[in-house]
Amino acid sequence: FAKVPGFGLLDHLIELNYYRLLVLVVLLPAWLTADTPADRKFGRTPVDWAVVGLGLLYVFDSELGQGFTYLMRQSLYWFIDMFLPYRCMVILNRQAGSVSKSMNAFVIGVMVLALISLFEMLKGWLLYNPLSNAMGVHWGLGNYMSRDGVMRASARAGLPIIFGFVSVVALAFFTRTADALKAKWPRRLALALLVGGLIASMSRGPWVGAVAVLLVWVLLGGAFGKRLKLMLMVAIPFAL
């Protein structure tokens, strides 16, 4: 993190990290210049208000005793971390196929991270740590963590639980886009990598989230028997 200096009574304006800098440089101009269709104005769907509710929870769940400036800073973090990515996803993906392409790109990226995480877990070595040190990037994450004698992999996510929840999101996207893969082996390979990444994170919260995602997929989708069998195949390793 890098603190942007403030003025007067403000100690600092904002704490910037690489993610927030990327959002401000790429997504903020796109959001400001985008032509929002009438059917995608903010507030027209329940998801919009769910994002607002999440922001209120994020802001007011913090330490209110820190003062008004702290509260405003947390509101700004919500705007950068949650609102901007969500609104850009809604506004800029105007064609039905573009949403699937975005999901596929995310899944492919997490598959690469899953390969890295499996290497890290098996070798007991955080692959990106030496690179961060060599580049002088000290972001306070990427420490070695273990559970039951097994090293918890984080790939480039910084923390195992963060990588685990990223894998859960990729798994949710995969249930939506898997039908686009006509051959069986790419679907099986993608699923195996995503599940392998979840296991490598050794994080119980994401495991529960993955089972919940698969349960919703089974209940909402067709081919109930096949999907139930698939869910059990994925859930049993986590239960063990």
* DSSP per-residue letters across 87-123: HHHHHH--SHHHHHHHHHHHHHHHHHHHHHHHHHHHH
What burial class does residue 93 get, using C-beta atoms within 10 Å of its C-beta: 0-12 exposed, 13-18 middle, 19+ buried? middle
Please give the pLDDT value at position 74.
81
What does the pLDDT look like over 53-88, one tens digit per residue?
Answer: 888 887 776 655 566 777 778 888 888 888 898 888
pLDDT 10s digits, 111-123? 999 998 888 888 8
Q: How many CA atoms lie within 13 A of 168 on its CB side?
A: 23
CA-CA-CA-CA dihedral for 2, 24, 77, 37, to nearest 10: 180
Where does the pLDDT of residue 168 fall: very low under 50, low under 70, confident under 90, or very high at 90 and above?
Answer: very high
Q: State the pLDDT confidence band at 240, using cuts at 50, 70 and 90.
A: low
Looking at residue 160, its pLDDT comes to 85
Going by pLDDT thresholds of 50, 70 and 90, the confidence category of residue 212 is: confident
Q: What is the pLDDT of residue 8?
A: 61
Dump pLDDT digits (tens) for 121-157.
888 777 777 766 676 666 666 677 777 777 888 887 7
Confidence (pLDDT) at 235: 62
Q: For a pLDDT cut of 70, what percent of the chain falls above it?
A: 78
pLDDT at residue 2 tops 70: no
**pLDDT beyond 60 at 187:** yes
Average pLDDT value for residue range 37-52: 82
First to last CA, the chain: 38
Nearest Cα neighbor of 120 from 200, 238, 192, 203 is 200
pLDDT of amino acid 155: 81
Confidence of residue 185 (pLDDT cuts 50, 70, 90): confident
